[in-house]
């Protein structure tokens, strides 16, 4: 798993970097008072420490599996956060 992620990240770094503050661009869509509620999906991950989901295209089929594992992990963390908020 780690090797696949490292390969995806290396390939991603060789491309043009995403615009800094991409979440800031998303914040412009909604009301200014809601900006503090926006989070990147990987902030909910429990087993991964990367800030963003890497792009698996132009890679190997295993890269898609790695991204799927990352998103499943982050989704579980997101559901936990939602449940914790609703229980308050």
CATH number of the domain residue 82 falls in: 3.40.50.2300
How far is the C-alpha of 53 from the C-alpha of 69, rounded, in Å?
A: 11
How far is the C-alpha of 15 from the C-alpha of 20, rounded, in Å?
A: 14
Task: Note the pTM of the prediction, 2 decimals.
Answer: 0.67
pLDDT in tens, 18-70: 445 566 666 667 777 776 777 889 999 999 999 889 899 988 999 999 999 99
Going by pLDDT thresholds of 50, 70 and 90, the confidence category of residue 13 is very low
| Domain housing 69 | 2-86
State which H helix or E strand residue 70 sits in. helix 61-86
Q: How would you classify residue 58: left for phi > 0, otherwise alpha for psi between -120 and 50, otherwise beta?
A: left
Reduced to 3 states, what is the DSSP secondary structure of residue 1?
Answer: coil
- Domains contained in the chain, number: 1
């Amino acid at each position: 798993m780690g090797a696949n992620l490292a390969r995806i990240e290396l390939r991603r770094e060789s491309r043009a970097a995403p615009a800094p503050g991409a979440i800031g661009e998303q914040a412009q869509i909604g009301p200014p008072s809601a900006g503090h509620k926006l989070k990147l999906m990987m902030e909910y991950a429990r087993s991964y420490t990367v800030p963003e989901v890497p792009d698996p295209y132009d890679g190997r089929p295993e890269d898609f599996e790695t991204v799927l594992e990352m998103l499943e992990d982050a989704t579980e963390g997101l559901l936990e956060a939602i449940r914790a908020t609703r229980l308050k």
